């Protein structure tokens, strides 16, 4: 497992969202994967995830999230793209942007305009659960996450983020939940979700 994880994976309690839980279970298998060599944007798993989009040695957070859908055999409705802005536009067109988070849904980050629309993309995680919903604190699984201070490498790890201000150093960054049909509450077999409005 990666160092400096603020979340104890033994305490994660997921809902009955079968498909979302499959995605999270698959992603948890990769906790601790880091770039090799350090800070190279490469490594055996990372190269495989990037190949999902036909790219190599680039920022790989979105590729990691999208690949978890592929490895869990869950259809993402064609939403995933290495561009967070394109993901947002596809999800908006398909009416898959939600105020409710579900285990396994994409959480994208970026700057918004005055109407709350994404202007420029920053990153993409997979939602796990609400850590402290009253304060909008969520647990996500993030790829391309800085490890160490100063940064010594990047890898896959569990993180706690504020859904309203996911990047503490930049309050202009907002988050959106993108929920493919296969993992949404009303359309997933046996799901009762674990998000809040």
Structural domain boundaries of the chain? Answer: 16-179
pLDDT on residue 178:
95
pLDDT on residue 35:
96
Question: How many beta carbons lie within 10 A of that of residue 148, not counting itself?
Answer: 13
Measuring CA to CA, how many Å separate 154 from each of 35, 40, 59, 72? 6, 9, 10, 23
Q: Which residue has the higher pLDDT, 149 or 182?
A: 182
Of all residues in the chain, what percent carry a pLDDT higher than 90? 57
Query: Taking the model in full, what pTM does it have?
Result: 0.85
Question: Domain 16-179 is classified in which CATH homologous superfamily?
Answer: endopeptidase domain like (from Nostoc punctiforme) (3.90.1720.10)
pLDDT on residue 8:
47
* Helix, strand, coil distribution of the chain in percent, nearest 5: 25, 25, 45
Residue 47, pLDDT above cutoff 90: yes
Q: Minimal CA–CA distance to 59: which of 150, 121, 118?
A: 121
pLDDT on residue 135:
82
Give the chain's mean pLDDT: 84
Structure confidence at residue 56 as a pLDDT band (50, 70, 90)? very high
């Amino acid at each position: 497992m990666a160092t400096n994880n603020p979340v104890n994976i033994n305490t994660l309690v997921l809902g009955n969202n079968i498909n979302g839980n499959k995605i999270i279970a698959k992603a948890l298998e990769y906790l601790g994967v880091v770039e090799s060599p350090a800070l190279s944007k490469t490594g055996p798993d990372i190269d495989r995830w990037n190949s999902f989009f036909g790219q190599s040695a680039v920022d790989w957070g979105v590729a990691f999230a999208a690949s978890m859908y592929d490895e869990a055999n869950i259809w993402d409705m064609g939403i995933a793209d290495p561009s967070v802005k394109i993901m947002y536009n596809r999800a908006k067109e398909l009416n898959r942007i939600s105020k409710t988070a579900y285990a396994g849904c994409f959480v994208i980050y970026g700057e918004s305009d005055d109407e709350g629309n994404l202007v420029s993309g920053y990153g993409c995680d997979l939602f796990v659960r609400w850590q402290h919903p009253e304060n909008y604190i969520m647990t996500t699984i993030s790829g391309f996450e800085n490890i160490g201070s100063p940064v010594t490498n990047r890898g896959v790890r569990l993180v706690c983020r504020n859904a309203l201000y996911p990047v503490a150093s930049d309050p202009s960054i907002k988050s959106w939940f993108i929920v493919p049909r296969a993992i949404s509450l009303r359309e997933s077999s046996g799901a009762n979700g674990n998000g809040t409005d």
